[in-house]
């Protein structure tokens, strides 16, 4: 079955530690995205990548880093510089050729930093 | 600067009645609008979309209306069912070449509760 997988579903880290969230898709989509969701807020774009080996900052990129070495994978690293890392993180992908702008989402990773 | 706003945090309706969820936007460069549905602890799933060249798009029980002059869109669900209870997000994207092309800007979401 095609889809997007994010692992793990729940992640706990101590303050000051970097942590990497995994996102893999087998939909053959070119574009991938990372969002975070906080209570009572919509999804905010962290980083996105339209093609392998290229990515752009979204609206709240500070304290995060990404890589796009493979089409299927777009890992997100939450660094110790991120002031409020506790959130629900969502990965998405989309194709340039299908319904424009429609993004398919993974199940999310809830990160708790204490 | 919230470019996409859903001013109603929650909506409660009776099963079988109509649910109307509203969304306003400020960026006139947006030309494609989508609605997503989200259950707790899950990723959003695409529901319905509309291009700025249309004012209505229908898919089964779901209809999206777009009023470009008012920069307003709405999602109508008729008839509403208990399984529709979820958070609904509207999202917008810009056309080719614009700064918002390929990116979605989301509203804050509206929690819909459909009572049996």
- What is each CA distance from A107 to A61, A89, A97, B29, B106, in whole angstroms? 21, 9, 24, 30, 18
Q: Which residues of A touch B24 (CB under 8 A)?
A: none
Does B30 contact A at CB distance below 8 Å? Answer: no
Distance CA B85, CA B77 (A): 11
- To 5 degrees, how large is the angle CA A101–CA A107–CA A111? 115
Q: Which residues of B touch A41 (CB under 8 A)?
A: 108-109
Q: What is the mean pLDDT of residues A90-104?
A: 78
Could you tell me which of B60, B96, A10, A73 has the C-alpha nearest to residue B48? B60
Q: What is the mean pLDDT of residues A98-114?
A: 84
Distance CA A69, CA A40 (A): 34
- pLDDT per position as a tens digit, B36-70: 999 988 899 999 999 999 999 999 999 999 999 99
Is it the case that residue B26 has pLDDT exceeding 60?
yes
Contact call for B32 and A107, based on CB within 8 A: no
Could you tell me which of A21, A26, A31, A35 has the C-alpha nearest to residue A3? A26
pLDDT of residue B55: 96
The rounded mean pLDDT for chain A is 91
Distance CA B81, CA A81 (A): 44
Distance CA B115, CA A24 (A): 37
Radius of gyration of chain B (CA): 14
- What is each CA distance from B30 to A53, A77, B22, in whole angstroms? 27, 30, 16
Could you tell me which of B88, B85, B80 has the C-alpha nearest to residue B22? B88
pLDDT of residue B99: 66
pLDDT of residue A45: 93
More confident residue, A102 or A92: A92
Is it the case that residue A98 has pLDDT exceeding 60?
no
- pLDDT per position as a tens digit, A37-48: 998 788 999 999
Among A27, A59, A101, A112, most B C-beta atoms within 10 A, so best to mutate, is: A101
Does B93 contact A at CB distance below 8 Å? Answer: yes
Is it the case that residue B94 has pLDDT exceeding 70?
yes
């Amino acid at each position: 079955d095609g889809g997007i997988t994010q692992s793990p579903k729940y992640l706990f880290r101590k303050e000051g530690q970097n942590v990497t969230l995994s996102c893999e898709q087998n939909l053959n989509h070119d574009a991938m995205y990372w969002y975070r969701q906080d209570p009572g807020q919509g999804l905010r774009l962290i980083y996105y990548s339209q093609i392998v080996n290229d990515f752009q900052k979204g609206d709240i990129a500070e304290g995060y880093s990404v890589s796009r070495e493979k089409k299927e994978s777009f890992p997100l690293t939450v660094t110790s510089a991120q002031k409020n890392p506790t959130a629900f993180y969502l990965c998405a992908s989309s194709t340039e050729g299908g319904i424009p702008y429609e993004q398919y989402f993974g199940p999310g990773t809830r990160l708790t930093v204490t | 600067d919230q470019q996409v706003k859903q001013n109603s945090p929650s909506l409660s309706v009776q099963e079988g009645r109509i649910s109307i969820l509203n969304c306003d936007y400020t960026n006139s460069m947006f030309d494609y609008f989508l609605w997503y549905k989200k259950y707790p602890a899950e990723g959003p799933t695409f529901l319905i979309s509309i291009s700025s060249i249309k004012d209505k798009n229908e898919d089964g029980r779901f209809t999206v209306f777009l009023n470009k002059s008012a920069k307003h869109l709405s999602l109508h669900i008729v008839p509403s069912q208990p399984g529709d209870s979820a958070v609904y997000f509207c999202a917008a994207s810009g056309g080719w070449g614009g700064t918002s092309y390929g990116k979605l800007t989301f509203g804050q979401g509206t929690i819909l509760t459909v009572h049996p």
